Amino acid sequence: MDFFPIFMRLEGRPCLVVGGGPIAYRKVSLLRKAHARVTVVSPALCGELQALKGQDAIEHLARGFEDDDVVDRVLVIAATDDQQVNRRVSELCMQRSIPVNVVDQPELCGFITPSMVDRSPLQVAISTGGSSPVLARLFRSRIESFIPAAYGRLAALVEGYRLRVKERIADGELRRRFWERLLEGPVTELFLSGREDAAREALDRAVETGLDQRDSGGEVFLVGAGPGDPDLLTFRALRLMQLADVVVHDNLVSPAILELVRRDAEMIYAGKKRNQHTLPQEDINRLLVRLAKEGKRVLRLKGGDPFIFGRGGEEIDTLMQEGIPFQVVPGITAAAGCAAFAGIPLTHRDYAQALVFATGHLRDGTIDLNWNMLAQPRQTVVFYMGLLGLPVICREMIDHGMPSNTPAALVEQGTTQNQRVMVGTLETLPEIVKDHDVQPPTLIIVGEVVTLHERLQWFKPGTDHTAESLFSTHGQVHHHRVGTGGKP
């Protein structure tokens, strides 16, 4: 470890910044956020620093750096474009054991400023020891996604209870366990979900009852896992996936997403695979109730969005009847995700002014849908769970007035590195499925917008999502042109 991580209290204390340009301004801004008393020494100031001087927010020494400028400073930053000045500042501070930072010159630094996630009073600092500030910023952006802004307000709330808890629980170890249980439990969840008054009430009750009284009530998180790519999960979904004690998941949730769930959580596979339902829906509803009544935080993880052909409404109806607390976290539905990654816009002013989602699930060998409504011009129809019933779907659409050469596409395992896009027509699509062993999950898109796929395809499985894919064809996709009988 080349640098010792430390947080310094600078409120009201004298700090020096040598330099008057934009970089110096950024350093001054950080020091002012810590309420330091900042002096800037520089013959001239940039506009931002000049404005701070006009507000009496900084002291300005309008000249070059002098050796005595470092005297009585608790922290010094050199941010000039003069290497000799920067080196002299560093030498003087090192001699006097004053913490010094020379911007972009770690070899002259006594300390470095990390990349920070600021949720004051909660702060996270990330450093690579000066070797790669860009990498530190990339890590910061990832950590940012896991720390909602409300955590700062939560930390401030908890700060106000520290003395009361210390008086209530004298033993330091027991006090630590109390805070761990509290901050991993319902108080935090109430606060982060916007129910701040309820969180304060729960915190008051917890302080009064101390460590012995545990909250026995469970909760269910109904979370949409999106179409498959873990990067498409919402921030709230990721947070709840780390809180869950037990996970009830469907077949459509990708292994890469399951890897993001809390490691010690119990995993329960609920099935929902074609013709192979491990648990009937009624049993899933009862399972969620039972687990929650056991005091567990239950993650009901569903592919796509739980309220779009996910039967989420049935599950929360049961939870409401049983008085079980729950949250619903929407996910990117398969139609939006798969179409976007296939380069097929679901609406387009030249091709489709309406969009319809339909289920293609067979029941007793048929599909009972309003075919007259679906077989309309200038609209896009997306069929979920329609692979087995594809011949029926294509036949009914044609029989109800849709031209047999209407463009249609299959998107298999959309948004993942195994994505395949197959394009044909209502007439040729069933044969394409036979020829290429298409497997679920597969989405069916019908409408003139499908013709845009060849021009707009951008995602190339097996490569980074970069601009180069805009100029490439799908290496592992069998691409079928409309009107060619489904042959490549």
For residue 466, which amino acid is it?
A: T
Do both 318 and 341 map to the same domain? no
Alpha-carbon distance of 458 to 471, in angstroms, equals 8
Output phi, psi for 485, to 5 deg: 75, 15
- Tell me, yes or no, whether 55 lies in a domain: yes
Do both 358 and 235 map to the same domain? no
Alpha-carbon distance of 6 to 99, in angstroms, equals 12
Could you tell me the CATH number of the domain that includes residue 32?
Answer: 3.40.50.720
Alpha-carbon distance of 449 to 446, in angstroms, equals 8
- Tell me, yes or no, whether 1 lies in a domain: no
* Domain-ending residue, one of 148, 180, 209: 209
Alpha-carbon distance of 315 to 182, in angstroms, equals 28
- pLDDT tens column, 450-484: 999 999 999 988 754 433 332 233 333 334 333 32
- Tell me, yes or no, whether 132 lies in a domain: no
Contact indicator for 426, 392 with CB cutoff of 8 Å:
no
Do both 376 and 445 map to the same domain? yes
For residue 174, which amino acid is it?
A: L
Whether 229 sits among the annotated catalytic residues: the reply is no
Q: What is the pLDDT at residue 272?
A: 61
- Tell me, yes or no, whether 482 lies in a domain: no
Do both 275 and 227 map to the same domain? yes
Alpha-carbon distance of 252 to 304, in angstroms, equals 8
Catalytic residue among 27, 69, 272, 460: 272
Distance between the two ends of the chain, CA-based, in angstroms?
58
Do both 268 and 318 map to the same domain? yes
Nearest residue to 228 (alpha-carbon basis) of 258, 259, 251, 253: 253
Q: What is the pTM of this model?
A: 0.62
* Domain-ending residue, one of 332, 354, 387: 332
Catalytic residue among 229, 250, 296, 460: 250
Alpha-carbon distance of 39 to 60, in angstroms, equals 6
Do both 366 and 428 map to the same domain? yes
Whether 272 sits among the annotated catalytic residues: the reply is yes
Residue 75 structural domain = 14-113
Q: What is the pLDDT at residue 74?
A: 97
- Tell me, yes or no, whether 141 lies in a domain: no
* 217, 275, 422, 442 from 362: Cα distances, Å: 39, 10, 22, 15
Do both 323 and 343 map to the same domain? no
Question: Based on the structure, what is the number of domains in the chain?
Answer: 4
Q: Tens-of-pLDDT digits for all 488 residues of the chain? A: 778 888 899 999 999 999 999 999 999 999 999 999 999 999 999 999 999 999 999 999 999 999 999 999 999 999 999 999 999 999 999 999 999 999 988 899 999 888 888 888 888 888 887 778 788 888 888 777 777 778 888 888 888 888 888 888 888 877 877 887 788 777 887 887 888 888 888 888 888 876 543 444 588 999 999 999 999 999 889 989 988 889 999 988 989 999 999 888 999 999 765 555 568 899 999 999 999 999 888 999 999 999 999 999 999 999 999 999 999 999 999 999 999 999 999 999 999 999 999 999 877 667 889 999 999 999 999 999 999 999 999 999 999 999 999 999 999 999 999 999 999 999 999 999 999 999 989 999 999 999 999 999 999 887 544 333 322 333 333 343 333 233 32
Q: What is the pLDDT at residue 475?
A: 31
- Tell me, yes or no, whether 155 lies in a domain: no
Sorted by sequence, the CB contacts under 8 Å of residue 277 that are 6+ apart come out as 271
Do both 464 and 348 map to the same domain? yes
Could you tell me the CATH number of the domain that includes residue 454?
Answer: 3.30.950.10
Alpha-carbon distance of 246 to 321, in angstroms, equals 21
DSSP, collapsed to helix, strand or coil, labels residue 17 as: strand
Do both 106 and 201 map to the same domain? no
- Tell me, yes or no, whether 3 lies in a domain: no
Reported as half-sphere exposure (CB side, CA atoms, 13 A), residue 435 has a value of 17
* Domain-ending residue, one of 279, 303, 332: 332
Task: Spell out where 23-108 has E strands.
Answer: 37-41, 59-61, 75-78, 100-102
Q: What is the pLDDT at residue 273?
A: 58
Do both 70 and 169 map to the same domain? no
- Tell me, yes or no, whether 119 lies in a domain: no
Do both 172 and 234 map to the same domain? no
Nearest residue to 358 (alpha-carbon basis) of 333, 332, 327, 323: 333
Contact indicator for 87, 107 with CB cutoff of 8 Å:
no
Alpha-carbon distance of 231 to 240, in angstroms, equals 15
Do both 436 and 363 map to the same domain? yes
DSSP-assigned states of every residue in 425-455: ETTTHHHHHHHHT--SSEEEEESGGGGGHHH
Could you tell me the CATH number of the domain that includes residue 319?
Answer: 3.40.1010.10
Q: What is the pLDDT at residue 126?
A: 87
User: Any idea what DSSP says for residue 111?
Assistant: S
Q: Looking at beta carbons, which pairs linking 254-263 to residues 24 or more positions away fall under 8 Å?
A: 254/225, 254/228, 254/229, 254/230, 254/303, 254/416, 256/228, 256/229, 256/230, 256/416, 257/225, 257/226, 257/228, 257/230, 257/233, 257/301, 258/301, 259/230, 260/230, 260/233, 261/299, 261/301
Alpha-carbon distance of 67 to 127, in angstroms, equals 30
